[in-house]
Amino acid sequence: KQEVTQIPAALSVPEGENLVLNCSFTDSAIYNLQWFRQDPGKGLTSLLLIQSSQREQTSGRLNASLDKSSGRSTLYIAASQPGDSATYLCAVSWISGSARQLTFGSGTQLTVLP
Amino acid sequence: NAGVTQTPKFQVLKTGQSMTLQCAQDMNHNSMYWYRQDPGMGLRLIYYSASEGTTDKGEVPNGYNVSRLNKREFSLRLESAAPSQTSVYFCASRDGYEQYFGPGTRLTVT
């Protein structure tokens, strides 16, 4: 079964720290991978999308990398701020999937302490 | 552009009642999806529609039906609600690569 795992489930860091969130997936034949942010009681905001042919994507203080051979992606957040506190979800679309459906990890709940 | 919209935002049902969750997108996307999110879990796919006129089951379709009314609208129906269907429901649509999500419907079944 194709699965996505995110560890740790929760992370707490002091403001200003650089941090890495991890995502692993069981099948390397992916179409793309998306990182989302979800604030409490809210919907999902897409942060970064990495195509299968890409190794990384950057947006501001965020950098996402992709290593298909090892089945891993990381989301790097530089100089963290309290406003970065949210749940971060990783989702994979596999080549074998129908209509490019996404399979989600259970998320990492990030708290940035002032 | 409104993006993906969902109605209602909140709903409380009694066991056995029925209701329809509405979703619409104004981005001219072909594919649309319904997910549910339970506490501490990621999103799980209920049904999807690759294009107007087609629908297919996802990971957790039992107890639900869908209708792709036209290219813009994709509705999710609970025929006889059960407490296990208490969840947050998200609709999404997809362009060539990326999925865009609505704000969600928080459903409680008592």
pLDDT digits (tens, 9 = 90+) for B38-85: 987 789 999 999 999 899 999 999 999 999 989 999 999 999 999 999
For residues B82-95, give the mean pLDDT: 95
pLDDT of residue A71: 95
pLDDT of residue A63: 98
Is the Cβ–Cβ distance between A99 and A37 less than 8 Å?
no
- Whether the pLDDT of residue A111 is over 80: the answer is yes
CA distance A16 to chain B (A): 27
Distance CA B11, CA A105 (A): 26
- Whether the pLDDT of residue A112 is over 70: the answer is yes
Residues from chain A that touch B42, judged by Cβ atoms under 8 A, are: 4, 6, 89, 91, 104-107
Cis ω on the peptide bond leading into residue B8 (within 30° of 0)?
yes
| A-B C-beta contacts closer than 8 Å | 61
- Whether the pLDDT of residue B2 is over 90: the answer is no
Instruction: Note the Cα A40 to chain centre separation in Å.
Output: 17
- Whether the pLDDT of residue B6 is over 90: the answer is yes
Rounded-to-10 torsion of CA A8, A14, A18, A20: 0
Out of B49, B50, B102, whose CB is closest to A43? B102
Is the Cβ–Cβ distance between A54 and A66 less than 8 Å?
yes
With cut-offs at 50, 70 and 90, classify the pLDDT of residue B1. Answer: low
Residues from chain B that touch A7, judged by Cβ atoms under 8 A, are: none
Out of A6, A51, A106, whose CB is closest to B97? A51
Distance CA B15, CA B108 (A): 10
With cut-offs at 50, 70 and 90, classify the pLDDT of residue A97. Answer: confident
CA neighbor of A101 nearest in space, from B53, B109, B50, B89:
B50
Partner-chain contact B94 A98, CB within 8 Å: no
- Kindly state the helix (H) or strand (E) to which residue A113 belongs, with its residue range: strand A108-113
In this complex, is the C-beta atom of A112 within 8 Å of any C-beta atom belonging to chain B? no
In this complex, is the C-beta atom of A73 within 8 Å of any C-beta atom belonging to chain B? no
- Whether the pLDDT of residue A37 is over 70: the answer is yes
Give Dmax over CA atoms of chain A in angstroms.
44
CA distance B58 to chain A (A): 9
SS3 A100: helix
pLDDT of residue B70: 95
Residues from chain B that touch A94, judged by Cβ atoms under 8 A, are: none
- Whether the pLDDT of residue A25 is over 70: the answer is yes
Is the Cβ–Cβ distance between A50 and A66 less than 8 Å?
yes
Out of B41, B100, B103, whose CB is closest to A46? B100
B69: tokens are 């009314």
